[in-house]
Structure 1
Amino acid sequence: MSSDRLIYLPLGGAGEIGMNAYVYGYGKPGQERLILVDLGVAFSDMDTSPGVDLIFPDMTWLAERRDQLEAVFITHAHEDHVGAVAQFYEDLGAPVYARAFTANIARRKMEEFGYSEKSVRTVSAWPEVTQAGPFSVGFIPISHSIPESSGLVIDTPAGRVVHSGDFKIDANPVVGEAFDPELWGSLAESGVKALMCDSTNVFNAHEGRSESTLGPDIEALVAGAKGMVVATTFASNVARVRTLAEAADRAGRSVCLLGRAMRRMIEAAVETGVLTSFPKTISPEEVKEIPRENVMLIVTGSQGERRAASAQLAQGKYQGITLKEGDTFLFSSKTIPGNERGVIRIINQFSEMGVDVVDDSDGKYHVSGHANRPDLEALQDLLQPDVVVPMHGEHRHLREHVKLAKEKRRQGILAVNGTMVDLTGKRAEICDYVETGRVYLDGSIKIGALDGIVRDRIRMALNGHVMVNVILDEDDEPLGEPWCEIKGLPEEGRSRAPLVDVLEEDLSQFMGRAGRKTMTDDEKLEEGLRKITRQSAQTEIGKRPEVTVIISRLSA
């Protein structure tokens, strides 16, 4: 009997929505040949990761086994699936495979880092397969909210695994391939050992709606608007962008795309033949020369991102374009949980300008790209897998999806990030746990979540900062009084005296009574100065700020 095993290990995307990264392995324990499915990012927020640009899954476990890694397969071009391919390409050292549209987006990312376009290899859809060590991998077209989304058929010596990718069952997705039940049903003919499945909308019991149902309502809204119309949606939702642009064209409005991501997605769709028609667009400079009622802007920033076009317009002006009273702004998107504050801020800013804001609270202008519960059941019925392993969801989504699998009389197994599942036998079993976590892109540098940098930044944001400076002469005696500089703190405290004066007086008294052991030991002196500063600030302003102490000593 073979001692080889088939394993599944999520490093990101299982227990959270974002930064998807899923490892499959086959071989002797600890020596498995590996493939990685997807390598994405998550986005930071000011509450938990201030100043951070992007968040990545911690790929240390896989990077330490790079000599076992055969390939990376990308299911589709959403940032939470493809956004980190260039960031980790050198660490992993494996070729990247994707279909044409996704490969186009991935190559653009690689080029920004100076990598060759040959680092990403374009593959065709099923029945074409790519051999990667013991794995035979095929891309199965599936409908989602971005062109050329694919599930993966992963054939191994231990059986067939299907990785759904992000999906919905849509017979008319406007752009991209429709869901083909015959094709997906045919995958079950040789038996499916395991289905790794999208869990995002497992709590939604309603039938999913097709992307094609939105056109009439969007057209009616645009046709009835009086001033300039602006619409925002996910830049990657090429079908929605086209629906918006065609609504503008039918209403006699010229279309302008604002935002780098928006233009990049449309360019990629045209270059790869995904889009064969799109209304003519105009430049931001041309917008200013046309009557407002004859223009429609399609812009980035549907999630309230501070640097995106929507936020810039809400603050007053973007590329010379301003909105005015009587204009209309449409959110043709769903606000992702956690982004509500940024979206509401933009809505209120537009309201203060007199701009009429239309959101998707009544479901007329947006449909989800993810499978609702009936779609999840339908996919299980088509594939008849032995085991269902939920992915792409928070813990509550995964747990509910396990319950759904059990209702369908199948084994369901909950595997969050770091949980290794052995799929070899008749029943899947958890066989190991590995360390997983997050890596932050801070400017141009990757930092670990446990490095303390973001923690210190949060502490300074919450408590302010004091810098204490002291100078000691050759005899270890104070040369003058200590002095302070404060950041993010009120100038006066309870005593009504300047806070700096109060701190400096208390520090001076401490220096005056400190013994020689303290004055000759930088570590002890720094500890004492920090303690006095925080105690004094607590008394004056009710906060214990972060303190930096600089001790300068004059040499003999």
Structure 2
Amino acid sequence: MSKERLIYLPLGGAGEIGMNAYVYGIGEPGKERLILVDLGVTFPDMDTTPGVDLIFPDISWLEERRDRLEAVFVTHAHEDHVGAVSHYYDRLGAPIYARAFTANIARKKMEERGQPEKAVITASPWPEVIEAGPFKVGFVPISHSIPESAGLVIDTKLGRLVHSGDFKMDTDPVVGEAFDEELWASLSEPGGLALMCDSTNVFSPHAGRSESSLGPEIESLIAGAKGMFVATTFASNVARVKTLAEAGERAGRSICLMGRAMRRMIEAAVETGVLTGFPRTVSPEDTKNIPRENLMLIVTGSQGERRAASAQLAQGKYNGIEMKPGDTFLFSSKTIPGNERGVIRIMNQFSEMSVDVVDDDGGRYHVSGHANRPDLERLHKLIKPSYVVPMHGEHRHLREHVKLAKSKGFGAVLAPNGTMIELSGESPSVADYVETGRVYLDGNVQVGALDGIVRDRIRMALNGHVMVNVILDEDDEPLGEPWCELKGLAEEGSSRAPLVDVLEEDLSQFLGRAGDKTLTDDDKLEDGVRKVVRQVAQAEIGKRPEVTVIISRLTN
């Protein structure tokens, strides 16, 4: 009889920052009962995923075993942890557990996609636990940059696992629960088998700062501003939105929230009781009657998102409001790697309007929601696990976190996406490798990253496109001249003649020379036409475009 084992398998979030999805299992090999921790998304960019709306982890491995999936546990309401629950509910069908604020956000996502809201179940915090098959799972409050974040205690008959979730050690977080050192230290009492730990800021050498430290600096900045003051931050950072609003109110300004995501987060925080005492706000319509020097906007779009309020203001007007010379725009946020280009574009657009732009100024107006290196060391000491398994980070973060844990005397194992680790032996070992990848939400359709759709889109963007129409009569002879339609290509090339004319002339000569074997075989004819187009385009403009050939044959 096979011995039962305890396994850990990241399908997303380990080797990247985003689309977190972590599987835990216990049972005989190949028969384990499973739970999933988090099911998030990451965001596309125009360079590698043009036109894509969202990116999900590939859960094919888990879907094939959905009959063994007991539940999904969501640690907090950031999109990279909860964003895919409604998109994948049909494929998994398991109940979704989350604390009240996160559950509120998750239910709204389910409602938007026509999924059953009742599938999302509100969980109480530790020491209460949820029994999911052979697992007992508790939500342990921890501070982060969004309310009601939680780490998880996962108890099994083979040992206790602690999943940190995203966290920081903030004893005065403005909104939400403070980090409770005594509570987290108590989790080590039965003996911790493994700590799955956030790795995002492992390279930051100084202990993290509290959210409460920002208020005076932001208030001073607002008080010194002459025109309208506008600030952007992550919509989910309810504490920061409150810090900004309170600083603006103390500086004598009326506060207006702009952007659907920000209003939704504040509403959810109020509905679930995690946010109280938020300053009174005015509607965008009311701002027209308020002097600019008495007005403060808090807007979405801190990462340069093209449709968000920040980008709309940078391009002209948003909700009837426009920026003017002498106004101030504050980025109270850190730019996520990969988003720099969009943020800088907005900064320059504001600069051209003579708007004063202020960034996070090395932490003066922003603090991270993730634990820095000394804080990670501190959590290791509190939990006292047999070994640390780094997660939530790029490969370089995971590898550095392994080194950190080992340097302090803890065991550690590197487990990027697709690496199944057996946790129940004398030491952790690799049990298997699972194929992982990405799934794109393209419009309202999910497509695989290897399906070729985005690849073809990139090729067309890089090389342009030519569509060639060829008509053949009943005797398989060309009827008239072929004609071309060009997209994304220069009109003239090195010959100084219109490119379309040069292409059509060379194609006519090709068809005139083609023999019966080519003219009667669509595949050979299409290959020949494509080759001519690419050769001519290469000679004329130095490009080898994508080519679509339409062959029409007349029949008797």
TM-score interval (norm. to shorter): over 0.9
CA distance in 2, matches of 1:115, 1:160: 33
Distance 1:540 1:315 in 2: 37
Count how many residue pairs are aligned between Structure 1 and Structure 2.
556
Q: Which SS does the other structure have where 1:77 is aligned?
A: coil
SS of the residue 2:22 aligns to: strand
Tell me how far apart the structure 2 counterparts of residues 355 and 212 of structure 1 sit (CA, whole Å): 28
Alignment-mate amino acid for residue 267 of structure 2:
E
Aligned to 1:215: 215
Is 1:289 matched with 2:278? no
CA distance in 2, matches of 1:90, 1:321: 42
Separation in 2, partners of 1:435, 1:2: 25
The answer to whether residue 67 in structure 2 is matched with residue 67 in structure 1 is yes
- Provide, for residues 143-193 of structure 1, a one-character-per-residue CA deviation record: whole Å limited to 9, x for no partner: 100000000000001100000000011111110000001000001010000
Look up the match of 1:201.
Answer: 201
Question: Given residue 427 of structure 2, which amino acid in structure 1 is its aligned partner?
Answer: R
- What SS class does the counterpart of residue 192 from structure 2 fall into? coil
Deviations 1:425-446 (A, max 9, x none): 1211011001100000001000
Whole-angstrom CA distance in 2 between matches of 1:63 and 1:136: 22
What's the secondary structure of 1:284's corresponding residue?
A: coil
- What CA distance in whole angstroms lies between the structure 2 residues aligned with 1:158 and 1:479? 77
Q: Distance in 1 between matches of 2:358 and 2:409?
A: 44
CA-CA distance at 1:248 after TM superposition: 1.1
The aligned amino acid for 1:332 is S
Q: If the length of structure 1 is used for normalisation, what is the TM-score?
A: 0.99
State percent identity of aligned pairs: 79
Q: Residue 73 of structure 2 contacts residue 96 of structure 2 at CA under 8 Å; is this kept in 1?
A: yes
Tell me the SS of whatever aligns to 1:189: coil
2: CA distance between counterparts of 1:156 and 1:45?
A: 41
Task: Name the residue aligned to 1:11.
Answer: 11
Structure 1 runs of 4+ with >4 Å offset: none
The C-alpha deviation readout for 1:421-479, integer Å capped at 9, x for no partner, is: 00001211011001100000001000000000000000000000000001111011111
Distance between the aligned counterparts of 2:378 and 2:189, measured in 1? 16
Report the alpha carbon displacement of residue 2 of structure 1 after superposing the two structures with TM.
Answer: 6.8
Counterpart in the other structure of 1:56 = 56
CA distance in 2, matches of 1:109, 1:497: 55
Q: Which residue of 2 aligns with 1:422?
A: 422
Structure 2 SS opposite 1:345: helix
Residue 408 of structure 2 aligns with an amino acid whose one-letter code is K
SS in 2 for 1:47: coil
> CA 1:217–1:263 in structure 2 vs 1: closer, same or farther (change >3 Å)?
same
Corresponding residue number in structure 2 for 1:91: 91
DSSP-derived class of the 2:502 partner: helix
Matched with 2:503 is 503
Written as runs of structure 1 = structure 2, the 5 A alignment for 1:267-306 is: 267-306=267-306
User: Match of 2:506, as an amino acid?
Assistant: D
Aligned to 1:364: 364
The aligned residue for residue 403 of structure 2 is 403
Q: Over residues 195-224 of structure 1, what are the superposed CA-to-partner deviations in whole Å (9 max), with x where a residue is unaligned?
A: 000000000111110011000000001111
* Structure 2 partner of 1:112: 112
In the superposition, the TM-score normalised over structure 2's length comes to 0.99
Equivalent residue, structure 2, for 1:258:
258
Aligned to 2:349: 349
Which residue of structure 1 lines up, in the alignment, with residue 385 of structure 2?
Answer: 385
1:474 matched to which residue of 2?
474
Q: Does 1:40 align with 2:33?
A: no
C-alpha RMSD of the superposition:
0.7
1:115 Cα offset (Å): 1.9
| CA distance in 2: counterparts of 1:410 and 1:340, whole angstroms | 36
* Residue number in structure 1 paired with 2:549: 549
What does 1:495-534 align with in structure 2 at a 5 Å threshold?
495-534=495-534
**1:3-41 deviations in Å (ceiling 9; x for gaps):** 000000000000000000000000010110000000000
- Rounded to whole Å, the distance in 1 between the matches of 2:288 and 2:52 is 35
Letter aligned with residue 229 of structure 1: F
Q: Gaps spanning 5+ residues in structure 1: where? A: none
Per the TM alignment, residue 361 of structure 1 is displaced from its structure 2 partner at its CA by 2.8
Contact 2:332 2:359 (C-alpha < 8 Å) held by counterparts = yes
Matched residue of 2:416: which SS? Answer: coil
Alignment-mate amino acid for residue 305 of structure 2: E
Q: Partners of 2:177 and 2:349 in 1: how far apart?
A: 39
- Superposition deviation, residue 362 in structure 1: 2.9
Deviation, structure 1 residue 117? 1.9
For 1:2 and 1:87, the matched residues in 2 are separated by 36
Deviation at 1:522, TM superposition (A): 0.5
* AA partner of residue 121 (structure 1): I
1:386-424: per-residue Cα shift (whole Å, max 9, x none)? 010000000000000000111111111000100000000
